[in-house]
Amino acid sequence: MSVDLRTRIGAASLPNPIMTAAGCAGIGRELGRFFDVAKLGAFVTPSITPEARAGRPAPRLAETPSGVLNSTGLQGPGIDAFLARDLPWLDEQQARTIVSIAGNSVEEYAEVAGRLATAPGVTAVEINTACPNVEDRGLMFAAHPTAAAEVVRAVRAHTRRGVPVLAKLSADVTDVVGVAMACADAGADALSMINTLHGMAVDTSTFRPRLAGITGGLSGPAIRPVAVRCVYQVHAALPEVPIIGIGGVRTGLDALELVLAGASAVAVGTANIHDPSACVRILRELDAALRERGISHLADAVGLAHKPAGTLMRRIDPNVGVAEPTEQETLQ
């Protein structure tokens, strides 16, 4: 049985649901040495800012028992270099490119979105709402529905019609559903969840924080249950809004878990650090997992965890593969 893995993120049609997570796969050339980046559902760029940024001082990465802390500080070349050098390369590879954008103010987000509006090869724009808003005492945009909605509205106004605008949300908030609803009302075509969680590690030998930036963003397997929870809650409240599930995905079954919670696509982040071919492997594993469960269309699996108990779905026996429906299930 073949599986139809096609999915939609707003107006964008993708051949499969697996994409990179912003900031975890370089600018594309790095992965291009291992596989054709056009095989991905989409490639998500690092967050692009108006000006070049040197980022935070080293050390910027610290391993934890089940994840990675990073404090890169949005290091990047800025929008001019991105448009001149990086976006054309991705377009030449025929990659579907989702451009992550960031800024310190609403005006900076709008500026980057406006520069992208006439650039070829942009499949969608993803707003990194976890950036601190320097005009609001350094609070991140994602921390408050009104601030998140304001930046979404500005980016939507500067993005050409037909290009979806995605809002990337943080789980470090009291009410992620409220922020998600505000972003959708402001014009977000889809939601990406979740960004890294704010964390910290201390070196017990030097007695000092392990990151030069003191705190950083935690990613990896440790945050996957949080991502699943957020995707589930937001899909329940906004079932019509596509969600890109992000957080600690290492295998096809990890991806399937987010799909069942309500994600229409899945982004792979930290796994790329250890395995540059992780995305294509996870795509193969997801395809196999759906086939084993008798699901021929990815779209049929989106949000299945919300279905009432007793809904007939083929069950998997971990020892023998696909289990035959029980007599009771057959009668339903």
pTM: 0.92
Assess whether pLDDT exceeds 70 at residue 329. Answer: no
| pLDDT tens digits for range 274-283 | 899 999 999 9
Q: What is the pLDDT of residue 330?
A: 44
Q: Which of the residues are catalytic?
A: 131
Q: From the annotation, which residues make up the binding site for FMN?
A: 128, 168, 194, 220, 247-248, 269-270
Label residue 148 left, alpha or beta by phi (over 0 means left) and psi (-120 to 50 means alpha): alpha
| pLDDT tens digits for range 146-186 | 999 999 999 999 999 999 999 999 999 999 999 999 999 99
Beta bridge partners of 49: none
Q: From the annotation, which residues make up the binding site for substrate?
A: 128, 195-196
User: Which tokens belong to 285?
Assistant: 């594993």
Cis, peptide link before residue 194, omega less than 30° from 0 = yes
Q: What is the pLDDT of residue 310?
A: 64
Percent with pLDDT over 70 in the chain: 91
Gap between the Cα atoms of 90 and 87, Å rounded: 5
35 three-class SS: coil
Assess whether pLDDT exceeds 90 at residue 131. Answer: no
Q: What is the pLDDT of residue 139?
A: 75
Q: What rounded mean pLDDT belongs to the chain?
A: 92
Higher pLDDT, residue 141 or 181: 181
Q: Is the sign of the CA dihedral 99, 102, 174, 268 positive or negative? A: positive
Q: What is the pLDDT of residue 227?
A: 98
Q: Beta strands 18-20 and 61-64: pairing type?
A: unpaired
| pLDDT tens digits for range 229-276 | 999 999 999 999 999 999 999 999 999 999 999 999 999 999 999 899
Counting beta carbons within 10 angstroms of the beta carbon of residue 328, is it exposed (0 to 12), middle (13 to 18) or buried (19 or more)?
exposed
Q: What is the pLDDT of residue 29?
A: 95
DSSP single-letter state for residue 107: H
| pLDDT tens digits for range 293-316 | 999 999 999 999 999 876 645 555
Q: What is the pLDDT of residue 320?
A: 47
* Structural domains for the chain: 7-316 (3.20.20.70)
Q: What is the pLDDT of residue 294?
A: 95
| pLDDT tens digits for range 80-99 | 999 999 999 999 999 999 99
Instruction: Give the CA distances from residue 22 to residues 3, 201, 255, 295, in Å, rounded to whole numbers and listed in that order.
Output: 27, 23, 17, 29
Assess whether pLDDT exceeds 80 at residue 21. Answer: yes
Q: From the annotation, which residues make up the binding site?
A: 128, 168, 194-196, 220, 247-248, 269-270
When pLDDT is cut at 50, 70 and 90, the band that residue 72 belongs to is confident
**Averaged over 11-40, what is the pLDDT?**
96
| pLDDT tens digits for range 11-20 | 999 999 999 9
